[in-house]
Structure 1
Amino acid sequence: MSAAARAEPPKLAVFDLEMIDTSLQGEVDGPQTDEQARLLRTGDQVRKELADSGKFHVIDIAPVNAAAHGSNLQACGGCDVKLAGELGADLAMTGVVQKVSNLILNINLYLRDVHTGQLVAAVSADMRGNTDESWLRATDYLVRNRLLAPNYGAPQAR
């Protein structure tokens, strides 16, 4: 393998995030339009920030997006890895926003190796407030300070 081929960043398929809503509002009113829009924007934000970093080659999920939306990617037994593999990806990223109430939410991102199916990284952040700004900031924090942080999860060099 040439040095240029080794230097290529891994191909990453970032799927749209899913919602787990255990709030009273969710039980009574069902899915909220503003939250569904935030889920899509959050996926776009993650794709953009990871692509802009140069550490990943983010690939288009359009060919499998309908199948992904028709599955529960968090509980489908690895269909995210299968779908990402169909795209030629090395890594698959899924995410879920858990909503307890309009005040208490949590965003989780999961990165899996497509070749082995193994979990490579799992990051999470709590959000206070169900607003565009809180979702934007929590997502930005996870990408910058967890997924792209040097030596994340490893001891710092002294």
Structure 2
Amino acid sequence: MTRLAVLLCLAATIAPAGLARAEPPTPLAVFDIELINTSLAPSTPEELERIRALGRQLRDALAQSGRYRIVDLAPVQAALDKAPELRNCNGCELPLARQVGAHQAAVAWVQKVSNLILNINLKIEDATTGARVRAGSVDIRGNTDESWTRGLRFLLEDQILADKAD
């Protein structure tokens, strides 16, 4: 009986320590966000800067979540410069992600339907299997820095980083 009591006490002190240990962040390749302009108006310099800024915001937010470690894509930049649009390339991003040591790959794009209607899309896939790990899309109204930033924040908080019961 004494031996059982000692084992139970040991288990009670060890278990919480094991539960408190967090998993290391997943290495993630976050590719540049693409702007898909299906509107009648041409893309503006402001939109091109917004797409770059949104990419920085996406990388920062994913890294700050503690779930991801953003990997450097510089070693595969030459291949990326020659690659087709990643959102429709049938997984061509996956070997590039693996090449830089990522376990997952994030592909995002903004579709400009008009100056009033845009949507931000993001998919995160397993770099080995191509299986979708997370995905989401959000519609935004207004083509401003603020609307793009708010849209991305909502997409991340509500769909990508939200803990969902599967």
Q: Is TM more than 0.5 here? A: yes
Aligned match for 1:22, one of 38, 42, 46: 38
* AA aligned opposite 1:56: Y
Matched residue pairs, number?
145
Aligned match for 1:43, one of 55, 58, 62: 55
TM-score, with normalisation over the residues of structure 2? 0.81
Shift, 1:50, TM fit? 0.8
* AA aligned opposite 2:55: G
1:15-71 per-residue CA deviation (whole Å, 9 max, x = no partner) reads: 111011111112xxxx32211111111111111011011111111222223432432
TM-score, with normalisation over the residues of structure 1? 0.85
* Residue equivalent to 1:111: 124
1:77-119 per-residue CA deviation (whole Å, 9 max, x = no partner) reads: 2111111111010000011111110000000001110011111
* Residue equivalent to 1:61: 73
Q: Which has the larger radius of gyration?
A: 2
Identity %: 47
Structure 1 or 2: more helix by fraction: 2
* AA aligned opposite 1:93: A
* Residue 128 to residue 69, structure 1, CA distance change in 2 (3 Å): farther
Give the conservation status (yes or no) of the 8 Å contact 2:135–2:159. Answer: no
* Residue equivalent to 1:95: 108
User: Root-mean-square deviation (CA), in Å?
Assistant: 1.7
* AA aligned opposite 2:159: R
Q: SS at 2:86's partner residue?
A: coil
* Residue equivalent to 2:6: none
**Structure 2 stretches of 5 or more lacking a match?**
1-17
